[in-house]
Structure 1
Amino acid sequence: MSALGRWLTEAVPRGRIAAFRTLVYLFVAGDLVLFTPWVRTHASVPGELYRPLFVSRLLHLPTPTEWLITGIFWTLLALALLAATGRAPRLLGWSVFVLYLHWMIIAMSYGKVDHDRFGLLVALAVLPTAGRARHGDLTRTEAGGWALRVTQIAVICTYFLAAWAKLRFGGLDWMTGSVLARAVLRRGTDLADVIAQVPYLLIAAQFGIVAFELFSPVVFLLSGRWRTAMVGFFYSFHAVTMATITISFAPHLVAMASFLALERIRPLVLLRRLIGRTGGTAVPPHATAVEPDPTMGGSGQPPGGSGQAVVGGPPAGP
């Protein structure tokens, strides 16, 4: 296998796939209820206002109706919750992907297309190929590694292509203009108002955004703590964005969790501990949220390897 092939299929613990799968499908269910419930209002919009995206025209999808939108909503909600359990990963995974893609096509066919959902859609498309996975399982899988790597590439492409679009359509004027100033006027917070009063700070921020997006692929050249630090910077960038101009990028942030060592999160163990504390039952010392691989040494590192990092520590593999 070539070096590129080994990089694309670098094996990861199955537990990481299980945790990422649960996170993604729970977000899909939450997205329907919390972030995009407004899509259901399109059921009452006249059909002539529907401007289908290219993919909709390519697939000859019908003009949305009340029955179609309501049917997708309830079916997708139920299937996403079932898929979050990890059962029938292929059948439920493909079903959720197809329905959520249709939901997004309906959402974005009335004049506005959000680019923060690209990574999430790619994750939904590739997760069914990862096969079965159980929380906490440290057995490695190349199929799962490929699914995470492709998702990571989609996340970074979201940044890099956003910068390319800014320079292609706005040129250098995007960085020297009043893009952020207009955003602050439209939807800025009190924090944004304070920042906007500092001379040239918004202009500097625009240069910084483009530089950050253009150099985001560097994350693939880093490893260990340096990669963790850069991914942490990605998250902090979006935290500042939310705190200043109230843009969340929630779907993108979920897809970006593909960089994290999520196998250390054991939801069932944590739930048992919570129930034990609530019921006044003592929790055995061994019932921790992290169960080390018996092949690892006392440090949690496999002999001669980099080991699996906890969330917030250096991610191992894709």
Structure 2
Amino acid sequence: MDAVRRWLFAPVPRGRVAAFRTLVYLFVVADLTVVTPWVRTHAHVPGELYQPLLVGRLLPLPTPTARLVDVVFWALIALSLAAATGRAPRALGWTVFALYFEWMIIAMSYGKVDHDRFGFLVALAVLPTVGRARHGDATPTEAGGWALRVTQIAVVCTYFLAAFAKLRFGGLDWVTSSVLARAIIRRGTDFADLIAQVPYLLIAAQFGIVAFELLSPLIFVLRGRWRYAGIAFFYTFHLLTFAAITISFAPHLVAMTAFLPLEKVRPLTWVRARRTAVAQT
């Protein structure tokens, strides 16, 4: 148990948590306005078409109306921008999580349920538990380590449970089916058309996808550069997926940055350094 606790609460620099927090909350704004702006159109959908997910029935949550959707939308925009600054991390963090959770119920209760939000929702749920964290702060924090670790677990579960679902509902026949071929017919790109012309490549890709998803937990065994190489492979997988069938998995990709040393990315420092250099010339 001590080994498990040390793994779950392995400390990370507070600066890493601060960078991750800023990225996550800024993505909420990007998600509402750029990535999935279609969610807002549910404000004008008849209430009888609303079929809430199980959690929406258990709580229960109200049937979306134009006023409710607009209030959640604008509140999320304002509060996410405020939360990205690091101020009032618990009060703003919990509020953003609650509102985004409701936003996802509104989005996914009309017949379309995406599984790229799981890791991102977990990130929103655990970030408020960390408390204050400044950019560039190298002080280790176990609370921050736990928040990032739980997010990492959620990211990996997204892959592993996707393979489980494929095999549960499609059986072993899934890997030899025409799933990718149908996806290319529906939303394929020119790149996908090139792939489809190679005999048996789509079948091989389906074997590869299931193998990759089942083996994804091994990322926790890797260390150092090998782990970063594994994460780079994860990102490459999604890049190829988007290039072929335009599925982006954007929120999942944001959550996956929990594996990265984000504290080393200091854009504001670069900007200040550049301004100083320009001023000195």
Shorter-normalised TM-score: what interval? over 0.9
2:258 pairs with 1:258: yes
Within 1, Cα distance between the matches of 2:93 and 2:270? 25
Within 2, Cα distance between the matches of 1:57 and 1:213? 31
Q: Is the contact between residue 94 and residue 128 of structure 1 (CA under 8 Å) also seen in structure 2? A: yes
Instruction: Supply the AA of the counterpart residue of 1:101.
Output: F
Kindly state the Cα deviation for residue 38 of structure 1 after the two structures are TM-superposed: 1.1
Within 2, Cα distance between the matches of 1:147 and 1:282? 42
Kindly state the Cα deviation for residue 36 of structure 1 after the two structures are TM-superposed: 1.8
Matches within 5 A, 1:175-186: 175-186=175-186
Match of 1:64 in 2: 64
Match of 1:174 in 2: 174
Within 2, Cα distance between the matches of 1:159 and 1:146? 20
Select which of 268, 278, 281 maps to 2:279.
Answer: 281
2:238 pairs with 1:242: no
Within 2, Cα distance between the matches of 1:100 and 1:261? 26
Matches within 5 A, 1:1-318: 2-276=2-276, 280-282=278-280
| Alpha-carbon displacement from aligned partner over 1:127-185 (angstroms, at most 9, x marks no partner) | 00111101111100000000000000000000000000000000111100100001111
Q: Give percent identity, aligned residues only.
A: 73
Kindly state the Cα deviation for residue 228 of structure 1 after the two structures are TM-superposed: 0.8
**3-state SS in 2 of match to 1:116:** coil
Within 1, Cα distance between the matches of 2:194 and 2:40? 37
Kindly state the Cα deviation for residue 37 of structure 1 after the two structures are TM-superposed: 1.5
Instruction: Supply the AA of the counterpart residue of 1:243.
Output: A
Kindly state the Cα deviation for residue 271 of structure 1 after the two structures are TM-superposed: 2.8
Kindly state the Cα deviation for residue 274 of structure 1 after the two structures are TM-superposed: 4.6
Q: Is the contact between residue 11 and residue 140 of structure 1 (CA under 8 Å) also seen in structure 2? A: yes
* TM-score for the superposition, normalised by structure 1: 0.87
Kindly state the Cα deviation for residue 281 of structure 1 after the two structures are TM-superposed: 1.6
Kindly state the Cα deviation for residue 268 of structure 1 after the two structures are TM-superposed: 2.3
Within 2, Cα distance between the matches of 1:191 and 1:273? 41
Kindly state the Cα deviation for residue 39 of structure 1 after the two structures are TM-superposed: 1.2
Where in structure 1 do 4 or more consecutive aligned residues deviate above 4 Å? 274-277
**3-state SS in 1 of match to 2:199:** coil
Within 1, Cα distance between the matches of 2:243 and 2:88? 39
**3-state SS in 2 of match to 1:215:** helix
The worse-fitting range, judged by mean Cα deviation, of 35-44 and 236-245 is 35-44
| Alpha-carbon displacement from aligned partner over 1:29-73 (angstroms, at most 9, x marks no partner) | 110100121111111111000000111111111100000000000
Q: Which runs of 5+ in 1 are unaligned?
A: 284-318
Within 2, Cα distance between the matches of 1:170 and 1:19? 40
**3-state SS in 2 of match to 1:115:** coil
Instruction: Supply the AA of the counterpart residue of 2:180.
Output: L
Number of equivalent positions: 281
Q: Which runs of 5+ in 2 are unaligned?
A: none
Within 2, Cα distance between the matches of 1:111 and 1:142? 40
| Alpha-carbon displacement from aligned partner over 1:168-217 (angstroms, at most 9, x marks no partner) | 00011110010000111111111110110000000000000000000000
Within 2, Cα distance between the matches of 1:271 and 1:128? 29
Q: Is the contact between residue 163 and residue 214 of structure 1 (CA under 8 Å) also seen in structure 2? A: yes
Instruction: Supply the AA of the counterpart residue of 2:92.
Output: L
Instruction: Supply the AA of the counterpart residue of 1:281.
Output: A
Q: Is the contact between residue 136 and residue 265 of structure 1 (CA under 8 Å) also seen in structure 2? A: no
Within 1, Cα distance between the matches of 2:52 and 2:273? 49
Within 2, Cα distance between the matches of 1:208 and 1:232? 16
**3-state SS in 2 of match to 1:63:** coil
Within 1, Cα distance between the matches of 2:37 and 2:199? 40
**3-state SS in 2 of match to 1:281:** helix
CA RMSD of aligned residues (A): 1.1
Match of 1:295 in 2: none
Match of 1:294 in 2: none
